[in-house]
Amino acid sequence: MLEHWRMFAAYNAWANRRLYDACGARPEADFSRDGGAFFGSLKATLNHLLVADRIWLARFEGEANPAYRLDTVLFEDLAALTAAREFEDARLSDYVGRLGPDDLGGVVTYRRQATSEDIRQPLAQALAHIFNHQTHHRGQAHALLTQFGGVEAAPSLDLAFFLRGVR
User: What are the CA-CA distances from residue 136 to residues 37, 66, 99, 102, 105 (Å)?
Assistant: 12, 22, 25, 29, 25
Q: What is the mean pLDDT of residues 122-134?
A: 96
pLDDT in tens, 79-120: 999 999 999 999 999 999 999 989 999 999 988 877 778 899
pLDDT above 90 (res 64): no
Pair 141, 15: CB distance under 8 Å: no
Name the percent of the chain lying above pLDDT 90. Answer: 87
Where do the domains of the chain lie? 2-163
Q: What is the mean pLDDT of residues 59-85?
A: 94
pLDDT above 70 (res 38): yes
Residue 123 confidence (pLDDT): 96
Q: Check the annotation: does 136 bind a ligand.
A: no
Rg over CA atoms, the chain: 16
Q: Which CATH architecture has domain 2-163?
A: Up-down Bundle (1.20)
Residue 67 confidence (pLDDT): 87
Q: What is the mean pLDDT of residues 151-157?
A: 95
C-alpha 10/C-alpha 17 separation (Å) is: 11
pLDDT above 70 (res 149): yes
Residue 167 confidence (pLDDT): 65
Q: Check the annotation: does 4 bind a ligand.
A: no
Residue 72 confidence (pLDDT): 94
